[in-house]
């Protein structure tokens, strides 16, 4: 059964943020709307600015060294055009509390830097984190960041480079052609987005690249030889089918997958880790999977 907090935040988001985002095409305005008020860090967690592979970002670490789970690259969402390590700090901070040393890069954003700039940045970050000889690094990401995590892994696989040992994907956006039935069937229930706004956001990032390009939309890629995947998605969001079909395709291609569909919660609800029980539960499950 979903918590009362899940019902509350989904309703509030639907009545406020979703209405403000509707029809918004200006990147500066979208960035403003998707920048939340700063939240306190979990006890014992520290965040420091850093740079990995020439890409700026933030390190999140914890005093919980006894339970250190290893290195984690976290890729924030924001429709490829908004958000940052700072806006998504609650997620890597909570994962740091659980024992990871987490780097969240500020990869380049569209429309100033369209596809594939963000992927190039993430390749540099991952290879620098892994080092030479490589050490194990896990990857996680939400929304567009979840799609970018897949694009990163596909790029590393095709170049025969070191791969993440596992990946956790929260409401990943995998099909920029937006062909999933849920983009319309869930449009009224979704707490955050309308389908047409999602399509406009994809076009801004693609800048003329076909939406079916496998590197831009991993839904159209062969997923063979990817590491184990954990996928968490909200039942009511318009991106539901991106996760459902990703899990199906991954299994068909021989990839180990765990898929969980969560009721009531909103898209990428893990960002509410300080306030939402389901967010903390999702992140705890992800941490166990990634370890």
Query: Which positions are annotated as active-site residues?
Result: 143, 237, 267
What's the order of all strands across the beta sheet hosting 45-52? 45-52, 55-62, 100-105, 70-75, 137-142, 167-170, 229-234, 257-262
DSSP 8-class letter at 84: -
Helices (H) and strands (E) in the chain, counts: 10, 8
Judged by DSSP in three states, 135 sits in coil
Judged by DSSP in three states, 168 sits in strand
**Alpha carbon distances (Å) from 149 to 17, 44, 74:** 26, 28, 9
Burial class (CB in 10 A: 0-12, 13-18, 19+), 253: middle
Give yes or no for a contact between 108 and 80, defined as CB atoms under 8 angstroms apart: no
């Amino acid at each position: 059964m979903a918590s009362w907090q899940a019902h509350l935040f989904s309703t509030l988001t639907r009545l406020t943020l979703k209405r403000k985002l509707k029809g918004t095409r200006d990147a500066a305005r979208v960035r403003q709307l998707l920048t939340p008020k700063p939240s306190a860090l979990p006890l014992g967690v520290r965040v420091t600015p850093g740079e990995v592979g020439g890409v700026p970002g933030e390190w999140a670490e914890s005093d919980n060294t006894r339970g250190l789970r290893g290195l984690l690259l976290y890729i924030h969402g924001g429709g490829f055009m908004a958000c940052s390590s700072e806006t998504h700090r609650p997620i890597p901070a909570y994962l740091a509390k659980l024992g990871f040393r987490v780097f969240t890069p500020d990869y380049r954003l569209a429309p100033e830097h369209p596809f594939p700039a963000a992927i190039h940045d993430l390749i540099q970050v991952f290879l620098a984190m892994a080092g030479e000889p490589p050490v194990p690094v896990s990857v996680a990401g939400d929304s567009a960041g979840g799609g970018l995590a897949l694009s990163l892994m596909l790029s590393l696989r095709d170049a025969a480079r070191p791969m993440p040992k596992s990946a956790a994907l929260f409401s990943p956006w995998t099909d920029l052609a937006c062909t999933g039935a849920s983009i319309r069937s869930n449009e009224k229930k979704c707490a955050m987005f309308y389908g047409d706004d999602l399509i406009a956001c994809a076009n801004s990032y693609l800048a003329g690249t076909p939406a079916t390009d496998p590197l831009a939309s991993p839904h159209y890629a062969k997923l063979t030889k990817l590491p184990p995947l954990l996928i968490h998605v909200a039942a009511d969001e318009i991106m539901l089918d991106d996760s459902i079909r990703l899990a199906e395709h991954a299994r068909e291609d021989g990839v180990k997958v765990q898929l969980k569909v969560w009721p009531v919660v909103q898209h990428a609800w893990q960002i509410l880790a300080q306030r939402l029980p389901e967010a903390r539960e999702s992140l705890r499950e992800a941490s166990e999977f990634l370890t």
